[in-house]
Amino acid sequence: MTRGSEFFFNTRLTLPDLVKVERFRRAPDLGPRLLFFSGGSALFQTSRVLTHFTHNSIHLITPFDSGGSSREIRNQFKMLAVGDLRSRLMALADQSFLGNPDVYRLFATRLPLDLEPSALATELKQLVDGEHPLIRALQDPLRKIIRNHLRFFQNAMPATFNLAGASIGNLILVGGYHNNRRQMDPTLYLFGKLVEARGMVRPITTSNLDLKATYQDGIEVVGQHLITGKESKAKPNRIERLKLVGRSGGSVPKLKRKVAQLIETADLICYPMGSFYSSLLCQFSVKGTAEAIAKNPVPKVYIPNWGDDPEEYGLTLADKVERLLDSLKCNAERPLADSDVLNFVLIDRQGGPPEFKSQLKGIEARGIQVIDCDLADPNQSGLIDPNKLVLMLLSF
């Protein structure tokens, strides 16, 4: 275990390497391809910091959200969830005047929760017709492109669709999805261009799937919003198994070749903080993901959560590492070694949770290097400083 010292991984490294980081800051267009397996909001601020050093990061997102307005979109349109995809693109967006701040403002706005359905329909019509102030603020041809996507959404929207609280950005994504023959990749590409995203965002799969968790007491739950605990008042329970299930039956699809290529060509692979099962481990249920990770000889880094994650109930740090490894290897078509899929665990023994002060020998016995480094936010106790984290990851 090291703390801010040099160690070996194919070459000699210093963490943090401030000279290397400064080089990236001066030319972010040429920055490294850091790849993150992530889902929700835990990486939002880190992603924003990252844009100052590289415009080439890759974010593979879980499209399985089943709560809130995402539930309405998925149920009515029979498609993957788009909320977390939109949110990560917002985190990567150029919000300066050199970018498109008016587009960013539009995509980040939600329709009111307290309006009658007729009033919400009127507001949507104003957006489509170009009469809404948020649309009028845009310059052509952006205004025409966005109105066109909103018109596709309006035409495809079922009469029973509830617009209350809907993100306008999500509606634009859904419209683009239908405009592109129910294909998400070209829609995300165009969306990224509209907001000048400084990185690439893709779903781990475009299939319409749900998460199914089996708990220690045998209870089974289907739906990400129930597994995360956001909409469940059940007592804490330890998750034993997690799988992906199709809403219309069938088996879980294999990883698309173009997504596998993103993994295989990354300069670093990161398993970041966030909801342990519903944001991270679930991605490895897509067949072929582990093999793509193993093909790439770059460093693979795990950043454990610091906060209270209901999905980690009953798990020690050593348990989390073991379950991460099991999830990475159990769906592989060939045997994989631990070192094929995980090399480093980043912790802060001084500023992080108390569990970081023990359980480390068992992790290192598996050939995984635990790196003890300064990650604590000096202004918010118990949180990771996104600036420090980015410096560490770039140093690899």
**Pairing relation of β-strands 344-347 and 300-302?**
parallel
Structure tokens at 191: 């969306």
Cα–Cα distance between 143 and 135 in angstroms, integer?
6
Cα–Cα distance between 225 and 75 in angstroms, integer?
14
CB atoms inside a 10 Å sphere around CB 270: 26
pLDDT at 99: 61
pLDDT one digit per residue (tens) for the chain, 396 residues: 556 555 555 556 678 899 999 999 999 999 999 999 987 788 999 999 999 999 999 999 999 998 888 889 999 999 999 999 999 999 999 876 556 788 889 998 999 999 999 999 999 999 999 999 999 999 888 899 999 999 999 999 999 999 999 999 999 999 999 999 999 999 999 999 888 899 999 999 999 999 999 999 999 999 998 887 655 556 678 999 999 998 776 677 899 999 999 999 999 999 999 999 999 999 999 999 999 999 999 999 999 999 888 999 999 999 999 999 999 998 888 899 999 999 999 999 999 998 888 878 889 999 999 999 999 999 988 899 999 999 999 999
Tell me how far CA of residue 315 lies from CA of 61, 73, 307, 308, 325, in angstroms. Answer: 24, 34, 13, 11, 14
Residue whose C-alpha is closest to residue 260's, from 281, 285, 290, 299: 290
List residues bridging with 30 in a β-sheet: none
Q: What angle do CA 242, 248, 253 make, to 5 degrees?
A: 60
Coil, strand or helix at 103 = helix
Domain over 6-57+259-395 is classified CATH 3.40.50:
yes
Cα–Cα distance between 300 and 344 in angstroms, integer?
6
Q: Are 36 and 84 in contact (CB under 8 A)?
A: no
Residue whose C-alpha is closest to residue 283's, from 321, 252, 318: 252
Cα–Cα distance between 49 and 67 in angstroms, integer?
28
| Cross-sheet strand order for the sheet of 220-222 | 220-222, 209-215, 239-246
Structure tokens at 154: 């309006």
Give me the phi and psi of 249, to 5 degrees please: 80, -175
Q: Which helix (H) or strand (E) covers residue 210, if one does?
A: strand 209-215
Coil, strand or helix at 147 = helix
Q: What is the dihedral of CA 79, 238, 243, 308, to 10 degrees?
A: 50
Domain with CATH 3.40.50 in the chain: 6-57+259-395
pTM of the model: 0.94
Amino acid (one-letter) located at 368: I
Cα–Cα distance between 356 and 46 in angstroms, integer?
21
List residues bridging with 212 in a β-sheet: 222, 243
Tell me how far CA of residue 32 lies from CA of 49, 84, 161, 345, 385, in angstroms. Answer: 14, 23, 42, 20, 21
Cα–Cα distance between 242 and 220 in angstroms, integer?
10
pLDDT at 100: 77
Cα–Cα distance between 222 and 224 in angstroms, integer?
7
Q: Which helix (H) or strand (E) covers residue 212, if one does?
A: strand 209-215
pLDDT at 10: 54
DSSP state of 357: G
